[in-house]
Structure 1
Amino acid sequence: MAHESQDTISIGDYLLERLSQIGVQSLFGVPGDFNLACDLVEDHPNIDWIGNCNELNAAYAADGYARVKHGSIGAVLTTFGVGELSAINGIAGAFSEHVPVVHIVGVPSTEQQTDKPMLHHTLGDGRYDAYLKAAQQVTWSQGAIFSTNTAASEIDRVLTDCITSARPVYLTLPTDRVFTKIPRGKLDTPLLPHPPKNDPDTEEFALNEIQTLVEQAGSEVVILVDACTIRHDVTEEVWELIQRTGFPVYSAPMGKTAVPEDFERYGGIYVGSLSHPEIKEKVENAKLVLSIGGLRSDFNTGNFTYRTSRATTVELHSDHTRVRYALYPGLGMKQLLPKLTHRLHPLNSPASAASVPPFRAILPKTGEDPLGEEVISHLYFWPRISQFVRPEDVVVTETGTSSFGALEMPLPAKTIYVSQILWGSIGWATGATLGAALAARERGLKGRTLLFTGEGSLQLTVQEFSTAMRHGLTPILFILNNRGYTIERHLHGMDRKYNDVVNWKWTQLLDSYTVHTKSELDALLKDESFANATGIQLVEVVMDKYDAPVPLLRQTELSGQTNHYAA
């Protein structure tokens, strides 16, 4: 940079240069007196300081950014103690769902950390490592820049861990080290993921076993893709496998859009007992299931109601492979998948001719909707929205009603779908939408960013609308207003006051629309000036207080029994 000498660079600028090299163009956070070297960010030619309303939203935004900015990571900068603890829930969600985010924390000077005075933002008892210990629970690795001799190596180590593991990492930067000069030579060597290499003999043995199982299964082979297909960057390898083998492919909820949902061999969402009957039958009766990137959480498996046997399953993961009952630690799918495709392609397996029922959005016919012909029901809303979504749109759904409704919504090729099914932090989607919209703009995507959330969830993180406006973003925000926490109602306390929320006057917040009927919704979605999203827009969708998507009703019934809420 201009103010650095040719051979040296400040530690703060070294960190920013490394972030820029791995594709980070937006840095989220809130300024504080221990991280006021934000001016380095503001002066950087390739990284924008976004500036959030609070640190929790900043962490959510970094999460959403990383999910859309494929090949890069999210980055959030907070101050010591109060800032980092505010962000920690968002970082934990990223850890849970395999999302690469670096959490940079501005901390007191090295002298203060040694002498331990009773500084503000401390616990007042000298435990300067308390927040590090908290971070250790929700990050893959941690780094502390103390010595100038190791600063560059420490930054490189932590960021390499982030891009390799697809998990959050934590890095502290003391106030007296931000402007300290170090050699810049390491910047000439790019940071790349460093997954362990597969052992050739083990890999060959596993490939032989899988090929034998495929041959024995004949026409009854299916592929099931899940979240880590996306998170661990194997979508291209999986797409090659699917195209060359022609095997029927299905997705778990967290793997939605890992495969184009308008692809002729794609059959829809498998979620255990919550699945459509024809999907359930195809997956559970298969003689062999090639499971790729699975994350078998409760909401991702229909409350653990998968009916696939280990005896008929091959699991491919980022750091291990399981072939029926045999476990192969360290055998990663990134290197294994191309070789598996090469093995299976010439087989001309009968599975390539197996029928795959099309995954289609079907609007209810006259008389089929129990809520009537004009009330906006979930039975109508999600298939209708499916027709509104365009290629390269980014679709963000809030945990609960929206994420379950979206399971019924086929999306066109090149759509990016973003949801938080495992961690499920209420309000996450609004902050994530900010990050997702920025990442989409940086990638040059031609589509829009669409948020689907409830009026209860939105009230937790609504402040980030102002951040989106400040940065010229133009998402369309669909607010499903059903007067409360619908998923919680169906779990427990259908008419309890704790599941009610204050009804805000949403139309006074932004350029807004309120739709009460199917006709009004349909007319709005057909309006080209609205659909083209040239400015930020809010749509209040008024729905029945007790209506919910069918998958949500099934899931809450199962969860209620598991939680022993059911009588």
Structure 2
Amino acid sequence: MATLAAAPDALLDELQPLSVGEYLTRRLAELSVSCVFGVPGDYSLGLCDMIIHAGIRWVGTCNELNAGYAADAYARLNGLGVCCVTYGVGGFSALNACAGAYAESVPLVVLSGAPSSADYTARPGARALPHHALSRDLFAQRKAYDAVAAASVVLLDADLAATQIDDALRTCLRTSKPVLLELPMDVAQARPTSGAHAGATAHAGLAQRLRDEPASSWNIGAPHNPHACAAAVSRVCGALALAARPALLAGVEVHRRDCGPSVARLARLLRLPVATTRHGKTALEEGGAVCAGVYSGAMSAPAVRAYVEGSDLLLILGAAWTDMDYVTASLPDSATVVTVVDGSVTLRAPAPPRARGGGGGGGGGGAHVEEFGPVGLATLIDGLCLTTLDALSLSAVGGEHAGQQTPPPPPDAAGTGASPIPAVEIKVHAGTSSSKEWEGATRAAAAAATAVRDRPRFGALAYAHGDAGSGASLGESSAASSASSLEQYSLGRSAAGGAAPTSVGGFIAAFGAWVHGQHGGVTVLADAGDSLFAVADMRLRPADLFLAQGWYCSIGYTVPAALGAAHAHAAAAAARARAGGRAPPAGAVRAPRADEHGRRVACLVGDGAFQMTAQELSSAIRDELPITFFVLNNRGYGIERLIHEGPAHNDYNDVHNWSFVALARALGLREGGERGGVAREVGTEAELADALAALDAAPAAGGCNLIEVRLARDDFSDALRRLGQSIKAHNKLA
């Protein structure tokens, strides 16, 4: 169960009875929501007041879609995000942002003000149809959200509202999916007078509920069956014992479930590097000796591709099988593939194994398939670590775990004994289990330990462009790879005298050098297109983070998302400052990082994508946020051109060429002065180098900046070209 922050006593003053809206906003504050993004409307004005009175900052955006995108990025970093909109016109505008959060498993709350509760049940002709409604059916907005939210609730009864609110928030956190809370104006102001939690004095029931049922008592862990987990651990360890060339691949769920440190620990125990999917970039810290780089089929660096596709056992942790990650993947039929994602463990082997474990079998095409579930990702990884650690001698892992105790005994048949895997009352999906299964897991881990002892500390696997046959350690290869790419960029600039036109490859190399030269961490946001695919193989540092809509790919997402990310970092830094530099209590899912101070946000976005959500540049300027927007301008939708070029006389893939620097200035970006930023248009490598240097001079280093990078119309990264060719062939376009 995740650790949640305790509610401040100041929020529980029973002398001041709480309304439903006040209860909701105080619950959000308790869950470490420090910012709410939105656009006010007459149905939500009262909620806006309550948000501010709860100590939460209101961050206004230019439209509701952008509010949803900003709250999405905030949630990815904070563990929970909220956007507040008005009914109908606001809710439907935010619908696409909610859909993206649902597809990418982001815990987002869409809070919608709404007409009076009486309007929902009024007979035709009895009341005037409220504005912003589609028809007399006021439930239309809720019905639209049913497909893109884990829960969509209209709070019509004040006496039931607190329970409904808590249920929805628990669902949001447990599933890491968005929810809709639609709150009629009168219910938001109502103070319950009956029900289980209505107080006996002064209607203090909701304040009492906050005290009696703090969010820290919630069980928001993913559904998990310890019996199925024991069987899965046994089978995975058994497969590891038989594998000659095992490999680890981590996806975005590792980040969503905050499992990065556990995956890194497992990798060290098994002496294996970890590749990540493009979508899961920085799920593990880059720049160290564990993360191998990004795997995306034929678009991968050769060393990473050889590691994954040359394995005879591939353990995939938290990565869904999507075309954006695996469109050109080629896994051998002879390999055993174990996939752990969305609460399920699936083992697919080329032939029936000698030991079947406790899972149900099935499959076809000559393959043997076993499934175990529900199994939480975090608990499965911990189970693998604990059983492997128990089996390994301390010398086999270099003594790094000296002093740690062996795991507790396995659970008994009822799952009630002390166990490294918590027992959960839930229906068994993968058959019954007993302590013998945990004994089997330990025996299988002992067999795997023999293979681990014979394995080199880490394979000679380079990050990105390193030489797989160099014999260098993974960490050394990573550093050499980065230095090599930056050296090549410098040599190219020198040879051309800096007059060479900017290119995608040159920009990525220069941008990488700039990131590595920053004193603090950098959060990189890459929009769908070459911004995403070109930057994926760029090695970041352990302090750096990477955010993208790597699967849903709604272009323009990153501009408002940068706003949300910057506010999340500012709030986390403020929380640590209030705690005297120590880590404050954890938020809804994860505690603030220790390296928030001085962190910058870099947004890489194409010109077509930027035009979708450009208004939020004004919000970043208004809030004086340390965001630098790099607009890659090739005057159109590059990926669409690669898939299918439009007719010459009417190319729908072209967009009108904006003056982005003039736009930034019109929106309030001022160069020079105490709070000035940088607004530059660059067309040569020399101009790009000068602009990057200007970004690090005060006051631009702490402010909002925009760099427009002019590119040739047909300049694309090799990765994007391969993706375009694959999609073109799949879509059967000439």
- The CA deviation at 1:341 is 1.0
* Contact 1:163-1:193 within 8 A present in 2 as well: no
* Contact 1:296-1:304 within 8 A present in 2 as well: no
Q: Does 1:442 align with 2:609?
A: no
Per-residue CA shift, 1:48-69, capped at 9, x if unaligned? 1111111011111111111122
- The CA deviation at 1:483 is 1.4
* Contact 2:224-2:343 within 8 A present in 1 as well: no
Q: Does 1:480 align with 2:632?
A: yes
* Contact 2:80-2:107 within 8 A present in 1 as well: yes
Q: Does 1:502 align with 2:656?
A: yes
Q: Secondary structure at the match of 1:283?
A: helix
Partner in structure 1 of residue 377 of structure 2: 333
Assess, with a 3 A threshold, how the Cα gap between structure 1 residues 45 and 36 changes in structure 2: closer, same or farther.
Answer: closer
Matches within 5 A, 1:338-487: 338-345=382-389, 346=392, 347=449, 348-349=452-453, 350=455, 352-359=457-464, 360-361=481-482, 362-363=485-486, 364=488, 374-389=500-515, 390=518, 391-444=520-573, 445=596, 446-487=598-639
Partner in structure 1 of residue 180 of structure 2: 170
Q: Does 1:519 align with 2:686?
A: yes
Query: For residues 533 and 495 of structure 2, what CA distance do their matches in structure 1 show?
Result: 19
Per-residue CA shift, 1:317-375, capped at 9, x if unaligned? 24111223211120111111112012234223416442212333414466799999712
Assess, with a 3 A threshold, how the Cα gap between structure 1 residues 55 and 369 changes in structure 2: closer, same or farther.
Answer: farther
Q: Secondary structure at the match of 1:500?
A: coil
Which of the residues 94, 100, 111 maps onto 1:93?
100
* Contact 1:65-1:73 within 8 A present in 2 as well: yes
Q: Does 1:207 align with 2:243?
A: no
* Contact 2:606-2:633 within 8 A present in 1 as well: yes
Structure ID, larger Rg: 2
Partner in structure 2 of residue 198 of structure 1: 224
Matched letter for residue 313 of structure 1:
V
- The CA deviation at 1:161 is 0.5
Matched letter for residue 691 of structure 2:
L
Matches within 5 A, 1:1-150: 5-6=14-15, 8-41=17-50, 43-69=52-78, 72-115=79-122, 117=127, 118-124=129-135, 126-150=136-160
Query: For residues 305 and 3 of structure 1, what CA distance do their matches in structure 2 show?
Result: 54
Matched letter for residue 261 of structure 2:
E
- The CA deviation at 1:306 is 3.8
Assess, with a 3 A threshold, how the Cα gap between structure 1 residues 101 and 481 changes in structure 2: closer, same or farther.
Answer: same
* Contact 2:691-2:707 within 8 A present in 1 as well: no
Structure 2 unaligned runs (5+)? 1-9, 193-204, 349-368, 393-448, 465-480, 574-595, 670-677
Query: For residues 392 and 291 of structure 1, what CA distance do their matches in structure 2 show?
Result: 28
- The CA deviation at 1:532 is 5.9
Query: For residues 495 and 105 of structure 2, what CA distance do their matches in structure 1 show?
Result: 40
Query: For residues 23 and 332 of structure 2, what CA distance do their matches in structure 1 show?
Result: 49
Partner in structure 2 of residue 540 of structure 1: 708
- The CA deviation at 1:88 is 0.2
* Contact 1:426-1:460 within 8 A present in 2 as well: yes
Matched letter for residue 424 of structure 1:
C
Assess, with a 3 A threshold, how the Cα gap between structure 1 residues 205 and 501 changes in structure 2: closer, same or farther.
Answer: same
Query: For residues 427 and 43 of structure 1, what CA distance do their matches in structure 2 show?
Result: 29
Query: For residues 384 and 96 of structure 2, what CA distance do their matches in structure 1 show?
Result: 38
Query: For residues 533 and 500 of structure 2, what CA distance do their matches in structure 1 show?
Result: 22
- The CA deviation at 1:249 is 1.0
* Contact 1:161-1:193 within 8 A present in 2 as well: no
Assess, with a 3 A threshold, how the Cα gap between structure 1 residues 81 and 426 changes in structure 2: closer, same or farther.
Answer: same
Query: For residues 521 and 268 of structure 2, what CA distance do their matches in structure 1 show?
Result: 21
Query: For residues 45 and 462 of structure 2, what CA distance do their matches in structure 1 show?
Result: 57
- The CA deviation at 1:470 is 2.2
* Contact 1:383-1:408 within 8 A present in 2 as well: no
- The CA deviation at 1:193 is 4.6
* Contact 1:252-1:300 within 8 A present in 2 as well: yes
Matched letter for residue 17 of structure 2:
T
Query: For residues 41 and 455 of structure 1, what CA distance do their matches in structure 2 show?
Result: 38
Query: For residues 61 and 143 of structure 1, what CA distance do their matches in structure 2 show?
Result: 22
Query: For residues 54 and 121 of structure 2, what CA distance do their matches in structure 1 show?
Result: 35
* Contact 2:303-2:462 within 8 A present in 1 as well: yes
Assess, with a 3 A threshold, how the Cα gap between structure 1 residues 532 and 409 changes in structure 2: closer, same or farther.
Answer: farther
Structure 2-normalised TM-score?
0.73
Q: Does 1:555 align with 2:723?
A: yes
Query: For residues 47 and 622 of structure 2, what CA distance do their matches in structure 1 show?
Result: 18
Query: For residues 600 and 146 of structure 2, what CA distance do their matches in structure 1 show?
Result: 37
Query: For residues 193 and 551 of structure 1, what CA distance do their matches in structure 2 show?
Result: 42
Query: For residues 4 and 203 of structure 1, what CA distance do their matches in structure 2 show?
Result: 44
Count of residues paired in the alignment:
561
Assess, with a 3 A threshold, how the Cα gap between structure 1 residues 523 and 472 changes in structure 2: closer, same or farther.
Answer: closer
Query: For residues 282 and 479 of structure 1, what CA distance do their matches in structure 2 show?
Result: 34
Query: For residues 288 and 368 of structure 1, what CA distance do their matches in structure 2 show?
Result: 43
Per-residue CA shift, 1:7-30, capped at 9, x if unaligned? 731111110111111111111111
Matched letter for residue 159 of structure 1:
L
* Contact 2:116-2:186 within 8 A present in 1 as well: yes
Assess, with a 3 A threshold, how the Cα gap between structure 1 residues 2 and 157 changes in structure 2: closer, same or farther.
Answer: closer
* Contact 2:47-2:113 within 8 A present in 1 as well: no
Per-residue CA shift, 1:477-520, capped at 9, x if unaligned? 11111111111111111655212222222222234012111122
Q: Secondary structure at the match of 1:57?
A: helix
* Contact 1:241-1:341 within 8 A present in 2 as well: yes
Query: For residues 2 and 298 of structure 1, what CA distance do their matches in structure 2 show?
Result: 47
* Contact 1:265-1:356 within 8 A present in 2 as well: no
Structure 1-normalised TM-score?
0.94
Per-residue CA shift, 1:114-146, capped at 9, x if unaligned? 11542211123x111111111001001122212
- The CA deviation at 1:250 is 0.5
Give % identity.
Answer: 30
Assess, with a 3 A threshold, how the Cα gap between structure 1 residues 532 and 110 changes in structure 2: closer, same or farther.
Answer: same
Matched letter for residue 715 of structure 2:
D
Partner in structure 1 of residue 583 of structure 2: none
Query: For residues 43 and 93 of structure 1, what CA distance do their matches in structure 2 show?
Result: 27
Query: For residues 504 and 732 of structure 2, what CA distance do their matches in structure 1 show?
Result: 27
The alignment's C-alpha RMSD in Å is: 2.3
Matched letter for residue 500 of structure 2:
E
Which of the residues 297, 314, 317 maps onto 1:289?
314
Matched letter for residue 268 of structure 2:
Q
- The CA deviation at 1:91 is 0.6
Matched letter for residue 294 of structure 2:
I
Partner in structure 1 of residue 340 of structure 2: 316
Query: For residues 310 and 290 of structure 1, what CA distance do their matches in structure 2 show?
Result: 14
Q: Secondary structure at the match of 2:284?
A: coil
Query: For residues 52 and 295 of structure 2, what CA distance do their matches in structure 1 show?
Result: 48
**Farther off after superposition, 30-39 or 185-194:** 185-194
Partner in structure 2 of residue 258 of structure 1: 283
Matched letter for residue 469 of structure 1:
I
Query: For residues 493 and 708 of structure 2, what CA distance do their matches in structure 1 show?
Result: 25
Per-residue CA shift, 1:248-274, capped at 9, x if unaligned? 210110010111221223221110122
Query: For residues 535 and 658 of structure 2, what CA distance do their matches in structure 1 show?
Result: 25
